[in-house]
A and B are shown apart, each in its own frame.
Chain A
Amino acid sequence: MNRRAESILALALGNDIIGDDGVALDAARALKETFSDEPNIDVVESAESGLALLDILSPYQRVLLLDSIEAGDLPAGEVREFSREDFHKVLGPSPHYAGLPEVIALADKLGMDFPSELRVLAMKIDPQEEFRQGLSDDILRALPDYIKQAEQILRDWTKNHARNITH
């Protein structure tokens, strides 16, 4: 894929047969509808991690990563935001982007294309113990706000893009 100027990716990570682990995928499906007419925004669902993210992320200038985390004492449904700079620190354990610091460092080291802006919206979920489809009540209640936060970030990016073109 060729790298496109001002291209934006909303990348949702998760597994839709592990209950709340799939919350980001549900959010992505809503975002796909909202931004279906926006040519600069791609919304992608993936169950991949680690190096595979390099292939997915590299064609884009800006990336919003949606994910779930099982870290800390946060109540289920709480959302935390991270930026690319935060990946210099140790992140809480996530099954999906725990390898992201290495991926970023690798891209930098190899001089590969990589998004200039990377933000992560991670929703706290309780540990999932069994395979099942569907979200728990706590996560379902938190989902609309999660989607709104993601929409806001994507809208801000597209507005900035419009201003850049005007200037």
Chain B
Amino acid sequence: MSKRITVDPITRLEGHGKIEIFLDDAGDVERAFFQVPELRGFETFCLGRPAEEMPRITSRICGVCPTAHHMAATKALDDLWKVDPPPAAKKLRELVYSTFMVEDHYLHFFFLGGPDFVVGPTAPAAERNILGVIGKVGLDIAGKVIRLRRECRHIIETMTGKVIHPVFGLPGGVSRGLSEEERQEFLKTTEFAIEFSEFALNLFDDVVLKNSDYVDLILNDAYAHQTNYMGLVDENNKVNFYDGPVRVVSPTGDEIAKFVPQQYVDHIGEHVEPWTYITFPYLKKIGWKGFVDGPDSGVVRSAPLARCNVADGMATPMAQASYERMYETLGGKPAHCTLAFHWARLVEAQYAAERMKELLEDPEITSDNFRTEPTETPSEGVGIVEAPRGTLVHHYCSDENGMVTKVNLIVATNFNSAPIAMSVEKAAKGMIKGGEVNDGLLNMVEMAFRAYDPCLSCATHSLPGQMPLVAKIHDSSGTVIREIRR
């Protein structure tokens, strides 16, 4: 008799998600689906509104990455009005954005994804949370995570007015400059952030890399996919979160596309499935070939490891050394191990911390020339940034008065939606055999999902939240024959 397992909603994720696993008569996994039944209509909601409100409206999509939406929207407005912000404005934006990346990446590592490794993938469910992490790493470290997060939020709040609904980005610049006093204060945070970045990577070394079981798990084929990768790069093809062209590499690491934001429609298509609201972006050049990996796949991954895979390196010295070490361990570039996304996240956080310092040490950042007034008639604009979870696209059209007539958003979790579906199915097939389904095995299936740090809030435009897990196992008649509740 075949069984159906429902993991609904997924634990320790922002937003709602559901994994459904169908077993065959032998108790092995036949199919697994990643489903998102959530809110709709954000694009429609925006129509007819003044375009300059988009950075404030889109940051309300969710409470998890408002800064990413705010920044992508702001860049879309630059393009809509064809206005180039002064250098100081770009640096201030990148400072805020780098600070946000530091905060968000560590939040994910220590609170959401970290428990899987720091506490252990098969540890009792009651311990796989932040308190379990504290138990393992100690109170002092937990206090440092809280402190770093608080100081980063202070920087963001100082610059943008509000962390959750920032009032900062304007077409052609930003709403405020940076005083010398603030610069000095923020520099202290960057010292702490850089020091913490070393600690976090050392912790990953001690807890994960020195544990052969964990290394085997990271390198396990059940958690690997040979896909294309995408991400923003700077003029030297180094990872950049705020600006630059989008670079795409093949599963063998060859550059197959490099395009400016305005050309994204020529390169990215969105496939739709009847069983979910989420769309599945793919490379147009290759076409949608289904949920498959390998050399013919049109699937493209974004997020930390994808960004590292597309880049030639990191633009700061400590992060570059960490980057090189990561690829030595993973066996070269591109790396296809989904669980290594966590490692890449720590490398990126180190880069973000170093970049904060670089920007704050740039004398131009305190310039009072932080806005270029738009003079052109608005028409169409595209803004792309790298959100913590991957590439984020905002595309607006407006009438000549700047009222929005068309909106398209492709959020990071959209880009990763097909890979997530593939990863969940592959992990389920690799972990669940002969009908044996327990809490630890289900968690190992979820780990494939969590590595992407998916924000379903954005992907489906819903609210964030951390939800309990209910796993239901159905027989072929639909009757619940077993329920696992955490």
A residues touching B (Cβ–Cβ < 8 Å)?
15-18, 21, 46-52, 54-55, 90, 93-96, 98-99, 102, 105-106, 109-110, 112, 128-132
Which A residues touch B57, using CB under 8 A?
A: 17
Decide if B197 is an interface residue (CB 8 Å cutoff). Answer: no
From known contacts A17-B45, A47-B60, infer whether A93 and B163 are also in contact, taking CB-CB under 8 Å: no
Q: Whole-angstrom distance between the alpha carbons of A153 and B362 in the complex?
A: 52
Cα A167 to Cα B163 with chains together (Å): 41
User: Shortest CB–CB separation between residue A81 and chain B, in angstroms?
Assistant: 20
How many Å lie between the Cα of A129 and that of B42 in the bound state?
Answer: 11
**At the interface, yes or no: B40 with Cβ under 8 Å from chain A?**
yes
* Contacting pair B139 A109 (CB below 8 A): yes
A162: shortest Cβ distance to chain B, in Å?
Answer: 34
Task: Decide if B63 is an interface residue (CB 8 Å cutoff).
Answer: yes
Min CB distance, A163 to chain B, in Å?
35
Which residues of B have CB within 8 Å of A46? 164
Chain B interface size, as a band, is 20 to 34
The CB with the most chain A CB atoms within 10 A, among B9, B44, B63, B461, is that of: B63
Q: Tell yes or no: B463 within 8 A of A by CB.
A: yes
B465 touches A94 (CB 8 A): yes
The verdict on A110 contacting B131 (CB below 8 Å), with A49-B464, A131-B41 known, is no
Q: Judging by beta carbons under 8 Å apart, are B63 and A54 in contact?
A: no
Mark each residue of chain B from 19 to 42: 1 if its CB lies under 8 Å from any CB of chain A, else 0: 000000000000000000001111
B176 within 8 A of A: no
**Contact A96–B465 (Cβ < 8 Å):** yes
A110: contacting residue among B63, B142, B149, B464, CB under 8 A: B142
Is A51's CB under 8 angstroms from B107's CB? yes
* Residues 1-60 (chain B) with a chain A CB within 8 angstroms: 9, 39-42, 44-45, 57, 60
- B433 CB within 8 Å of chain A: no
Question: In the complex where A17-B60, A51-B107, A51-B111 touch, is A96 in contact with B143 (Cβ < 8 A)?
Answer: no
Residues of B within 8 A of A95 (CB): 462-465
B41 cross-chain contacts in A, Cβ below 8 A? 130-132
> Complex formed: what's the CA distance from A110 to B145 in Å?
11
Write the chain B residue with the least CB distance to A14: B463
CA distance A43 to B9 in the complex (A): 32
Name the CB-closest residue of A to B486: A90
Contact of A48 with B149 in the complex, beta carbons under 8 Å: no
Q: Which of B39, B146, B163 contacts A130 (CB 8 A)?
A: B39
Residue B153 is within 8 A (CB to CB) of chain A in the complex? yes
Residue B435 at the chain A interface, CB threshold 8 Å:
no
A73 to B46, CA, bound (A): 33
The 9 closest A-B pairs by CB, nearest first: A95-B465, A131-B45, A95-B463, A130-B41, A99-B466, A47-B63, A98-B466, A131-B41, A131-B42
CB-contacts of B122-161 with A (<8 A): 129-131, 134, 139, 142-143, 146, 149-150, 153
Known: A47-B165, A110-B139. 16 other contacts (CB 8 A): A17-B57, A47-B463, A48-B163, A49-B465, A50-B464, A51-B107, A52-B153, A55-B153, A93-B9, A93-B467, A99-B466, A102-B466, A109-B139, A131-B42, A131-B45, A132-B45
Residue B295 lies at the interface, judged by CB distance under 8 Å to chain A: no
- Pick from B60, B150, B463, B466: contact of A55, CB under 8 Å: B150
Chain B residues within an 8 Å CB radius of A129: 39-40
Whole-angstrom distance between the Cβ of A46 and the nearest chain B Cβ: 7
Query: Which A residue's beta carbon lies closest to that of B139?
Result: A110
**In angstroms, how far is the closest chain B Cβ from the Cβ of A101?**
10
- Taking a contact as CB atoms under 8 Å apart, the answer to whether A109 and B134 are in contact is yes
Q: For the complex formed, measure the closest distance between the CB of A55 and the CB atoms of chain B, giving whole angstroms.
A: 6
A93 vs B421: C-alpha distance when bound (angstroms): 24
Closest Cβ–Cβ distance, residue A21 to chain B (whole Å):
7
Subset of 28 A-B contacts with CB under 8 Å: A15-B463, A16-B60, A17-B57, A17-B60, A18-B463, A46-B164, A47-B63, A47-B164, A47-B165, A48-B63, A48-B163, A48-B164, A49-B466, A50-B464, A52-B63, A52-B164, A55-B153, A93-B467, A95-B462, A98-B465, A99-B465, A109-B142, A128-B39, A129-B39, A131-B42, A131-B44, A131-B461, A132-B41
A97 closest partner in B (C-beta): B465
- Cα distance, A6 to B45, chains bound together (Å): 42
Question: Which residues of B lie under 8 Å from residue A131 when comparing CB positions?
Answer: 39-42, 44-45, 461
Interface string of B279-319 (1 = CB under 8 A from A): 00000000000000000000000000000000000000000
Would A54 and B146 count as touching, CB distance under 8 A?
yes
In whole angstroms, what is the CA distance A110 to B137 when docked?
13
B468 within 8 A of A: yes
Decide yes or no: A102 and B131 within 8 Å by CB, A110-B143, A130-B41 being known contacts: yes
Chain B residue with the shortest CB-CB distance to A19: B39
Q: Which residues of A contact B44 (CB under 8 A)?
A: 131
B131, A105: Cβ atoms under 8 Å? yes
Q: Is B465 touching A93 in the complex (CB atoms < 8 A)?
A: yes
Complex-state Cα separation, A93 to B15, whole angstroms: 11
Q: Which residue of B lies closest to A130 (CB)?
A: B41
Interchain CB contact under 8 A, B465 and A130: no
| B105-124 at interface with A (beta carbon < 8 Å) | 107, 111
Q: Please, which residue of chain A has its CB at the minimum distance from the CB of B42? A: A131
In the bound complex, what is the Cα–Cα distance between A26 and B107 (angstroms)? 30
